Chains A and B, each alone.
Chain A
Amino acid sequence: GENVEQHPSTLSVQEGDSAVIKCTYSDSASNYFPWYKQELGKRPQLIIDIRSNVGEKKDQRIAVTLNKTAKHFSLHITETQPEDSAVYFCAARLFTGGGNKLTFGTGTQLKVEL
């Protein structure tokens, strides 16, 4: 089955700096890669996603890049703000006959310091 590794497990940056979180996946057939943000005590919220036929996607301060050859994808947050502090999860989905199983990375605790 699919396996997703995520690094780093914790990340501390100064407000205004950039943050990068990296994930690798094992199954080359995976075709959909979402990123979720989970604040303490709240549900995971989808913040950006990318499909396997796209190399990069950007939404304001957030961008995701995908390297299918190397089987890794990354989340980039620019001009970080205190409200960006949360746990971020990457995930990969293997499309098998419409199946909707997401395999998650272990999460990155991002702390944006003033």
Chain B
Amino acid sequence: KAGVTQTPRYLIKTRGQQVTLSCSPISGHRSVSWYQQTPGQGLQFLFEYFSETQRNKGNFPGRFSGRQFSNSRSEMNVSTLELGDSALYLCASSFPGTGERTEAFFGQGTRLTVV
């Protein structure tokens, strides 16, 4: 069974630009969550999508947005990039998406560098 796949693995962008990251969950998983990992702040929750709807949202500015498609693949978009957005962006998928037990499996992440 294929794991969680994130593309691209590395990105270098300039301040003010926008970026789109992609996450393909494990087959059958319908919940996709996004996290930002930085040395100073650790793993911070961005948002979660389930059945194409945003179900939870973390404390990030509106420049961070996402969406989920009918095949459960998810994209995350960051507009007007700032230097502080440089981080490893991780997505995690879960099945069945509802219920008490939801093991989350992470992708390898996208390393975003803003210059």
Given contacts A99-B48, A104-B42, contact A43 B108 (CB under 8 A): yes
Please state if A100 and B50 are interface contacts (CB–CB under 8 Å). yes
Taken residue by residue from 88 to 109, chain B's Cβ proximity to chain A (1 for < 8 Å, 0 otherwise) reads as 0010101001111111111111
**B11, CB-defined interface residue at 8 Å:** no
Secondary structure at the B interface, as helix, strand, loop or mixed, is strand
Count residues of A near B (Cβ-Cβ below 8 Å). 27
Interface residues of B in 53-112 (CB under 8 A from A): 55-56, 58, 90, 92, 94, 97-109
Please state if B33 and A102 are interface contacts (CB–CB under 8 Å). yes
**B31, CB-defined interface residue at 8 Å:** yes
A-B contact count (CB 8 A): 69
Interface centre among A34, A49, A51, A98 (most CB of B within 10 A): A98
Q: Chain B: residues with CB nearer than 8 A to chain A?
A: 31, 33, 35, 42-45, 48, 50, 55-56, 58, 90, 92, 94, 97-109
Please state if A32 and B102 are interface contacts (CB–CB under 8 Å). yes
Q: Chain A: residues with CB nearer than 8 A to chain B?
A: 31-32, 34, 36, 42-46, 49, 51, 89, 91, 93, 95-107
Q: How far is the CA of A30 from the CA of B1 in the complex (A)?
A: 30
Instruction: Enumerate chain B residues within 8 angstroms of A32, measured Cβ to Cβ.
Output: 100-102
